[in-house]
Structure 1
Amino acid sequence: MALLEVKELDVRFALRHGDLRALRDLSFSLDRGERLGIVGESGAGKSVAAFTLLNLISLPGYIAGGSIRFDGQELVGLSDRRLRRIRGKRMSMIFQDPMMTLNPVLSIGEQMVECLKAHRRISSREAKRIALDKLSQVQIPSPEKRLDQYPHELSGGMRQRVIIAIALLLDPDIIIADEPTTALDVTIQAEIMALLLELCEHNNVGLILITHDLGVVNQVTQRMLVMYAGRIIEQGPTRDIIDTPQHPYTRGLIDALPQMATPGARLNQIPGSMPSLNNLPSGCAFHPRCGFVNDESGRPRPACLNQVPGFVNVGDIQTACHWVAEKQGKPMQTRTGEKSQSETSP
């Protein structure tokens, strides 16, 4: 049994003119010690997925359907009191901006000790010892000195190491890292990701890495999900998807990498932009931007325009694309609860 199982997750935001569906039919699993990447453009639903796993979405957001099972326990509908036994203890999260995560008026030591004492019945002295140990694990120099410092006294890379140390305080089974290196320069990014990978491998911690950086995903994760407009449109082993992407959107993301362009030429890009979630195109949400929406005669495929694609298997990769299914001559799985016509509005 997988450590984390997400099935048909449906997340909505109640707005004045109706519900906006932020996640649609989201299904994936994570084994103990496995590293999973979630990629896609801004607005694809990556961060909403991360927050939903820990039930951190706030009103007007809510879980409208689906299941999140952690170590055999259903989390959807669990009370806040019982969720607190899991959130931060067995499932930790690393947020994008450490300055927004750390409390600016409390020292690093106070924040770490407070976190430990909220979940364990230990003395302040023992909590401080554990905090020092975790700061040492994330390679922070002079950890005793750092305990008495405030967040503004540390560099961006140092603050992110503190966040990772806090995430490791209670020896979690899963760490969810939401764009953990966004605010850092390139050299510090590489150090932080190498550190996170080493810590997860050493402690057999499952990792869900949310990012738009395919290079990082390729280096760190074993499996990856590609999201578009609130849905998973491709999933499988990271190396297989990077080497042989099947979905036109995934191909576009990889072709847009700087190293894929001819030196001196313009960078490749996917035309158009991510559609608004309250006004999705009919059928496949990607079809207005897709270079394969037309058949050999130059006419749009009716299925692309009118039917939400299910998954088709290509080796170990699952991809949701009518063109791929046609090319492979393989049957397409249906998506549970999906309509053949669009869900253009909430």
Structure 2
Amino acid sequence: MALLEVNHLDVRFALRLGEVHALRDVNFTLERGERLGIVGESGAGKSVAAFSLLNLIAKPGFIAGGEVRFDGQQLNSMSERALRKVRGNRISMIFQDPMMTLNPVLSIGEQMLECLKAHRRISSKEARAIALDKLYQVQIPSPETRLDQYPHELSGGMRQRIIIAIALLLDPDIIIADEPTTALDVTIQAEIMALLLELCEKHNVGLILITHDLGVVSQVTQRMLVMYAGRVIEQGPTREIINDPQHPYTQGLINALPQMATPGEKLNQIRGSMPSLSNLPSGCAFHPRCDFINRADGQPRPACTQQVPGFVESGNCQVACHMVAELIDKEATDEARLKETNP
């Protein structure tokens, strides 16, 4: 049994004009110590998926169906009191903006001690010793001094290290990192991600990394999910997806990386933009932007515009794409014919 199992997760927002599907039939697992990346454009549903795991969806959002199971327990059916024992204790979260996460009127030490005392019965002296140890682990210079400082006295990189230290305070089984390096420059980004990777490997902590940066995902994660318009459209081993992407959307994301463009030429881009979740296209949500919607005869593939694609197995990956399904069927047919002619 996996440490974390997400089965057929369905999240909706009840708006005045009707319900909006933010997540549809999302499925994935996370093993103990495994590193999973979730990628996609803004609006794909990455952060909603992360917040759903701990039932942190704010109203008018709600989990309409499916289940989230952690270590055999179903989180989305737990009481708020029972969930508080899991949040921050066994599953920690690193949010996008450290200045929004840290309380500006409390010192770093006060915030760390408050977190520890909320989950453990320990003295202030013991809590301070644990907090100091975690600051050493995230390589904060002069940690004794930092404990008595306030968030505004620290740089962006230091604040993010503080957030990681707080996430590690209670030795969690899983850390969910939602765009943890968004507000940082490139050099600091690399340092933070290397630190996070080192700490997860050292403590055997599972990591769910939510980002739009495929470069970071390729360096840090072992498996990845690609999301589009609230659905998972491709998932499998990170290295396999990066080296041989199957879904046209995944191919577009990788081709849009700066290093994939010819020097002096325009960067590659996926035409169009993410559709509104309140007005999704019929069939495959990506088909209005897809360069492979036409069949070999030049005519649009009817299934793409009429049917939501199911998953097909391609190597060690799962892909939700009608074109990929056709290619797999064609390969199987050609192979069967070859065996018939050459028994």
- Segments of structure 1 that go 5 or more residues without pairing to the other structure are 332-346
Whether the 8 Å contact between 2:69 and 2:75 is mirrored in structure 1 is: yes
Alignment partner of 1:88 is 2:114: no
1:210-248 Cα deviation digits (max 9, x unpaired)? 000000000000000000000000000000000000000
Alignment partner of 1:43 is 2:43: yes
Q: Distance in 2 between matches of 1:184 and 1:15?
A: 34
Q: Distance in 1 between matches of 2:314 and 2:66?
A: 26
Q: Distance in 2 between matches of 1:152 and 1:135?
A: 17
Normalising by structure 2, report the TM-score: 0.96
Q: Distance in 1 between matches of 2:62 and 2:326?
A: 37
1:42-98 Cα deviation digits (max 9, x unpaired)? 000000000110111111000000010000000112111000000000000000000
Normalising by structure 1, report the TM-score: 0.95
1:96-144 Cα deviation digits (max 9, x unpaired)? 0000000000000000000000000000110000000000000001100
Q: Which residue in the other structure is 2:97 paired with?
A: 97
Q: Which residue in the other structure is 1:137 paired with?
A: 137
1:143-175 Cα deviation digits (max 9, x unpaired)? 000000000000000000000000000000000
Following TM superposition, where does structure 1 have runs of at least 4 consecutive aligned residues deviating by more than 2 angstroms? none
SS state at 1:76 partner = helix
Same amino acid, percent of matched pairs: 81
Q: Which residue in the other structure is 2:62 paired with?
A: 62
Q: Distance in 2 between matches of 1:329 and 1:318?
A: 15
How far did residue 330 of structure 1 move?
7.2
SS state at 2:127 partner = helix
Q: Which has the larger radius of gyration?
A: 2
Whether the 8 Å contact between 2:179 and 2:210 is mirrored in structure 1 is: yes
Q: Distance in 2 between matches of 1:245 and 1:307?
A: 22
For residue 262 of structure 1, what is the amino acid of its counterpart? T
Q: Distance in 2 between matches of 1:81 and 1:312?
A: 40
1:300-324 Cα deviation digits (max 9, x unpaired)? 1110000000011110011000000
Whether the 8 Å contact between 1:247 and 1:319 is mirrored in structure 2 is: yes
- Segments of structure 2 that go 5 or more residues without pairing to the other structure are 332-343
Q: Which residue in the other structure is 1:217 paired with?
A: 217
Q: Which residue in the other structure is 1:16 paired with?
A: 16
CA RMSD of aligned residues (A): 0.8
How far did residue 17 of structure 1 move?
1.2
Whether the 8 Å contact between 2:117 and 2:127 is mirrored in structure 1 is: yes
Q: Which residue in the other structure is 2:339 paired with?
A: none
Q: Which residue in the other structure is 1:301 paired with?
A: 301
Whether the 8 Å contact between 2:37 and 2:210 is mirrored in structure 1 is: yes
Number of residue-to-residue matches in the alignment: 331
Q: Distance in 1 between matches of 2:47 and 2:83?
A: 19
Alignment partner of 1:319 is 2:323: no
Q: Distance in 2 between matches of 1:87 and 1:251?
A: 36
For residue 278 of structure 1, what is the amino acid of its counterpart? S
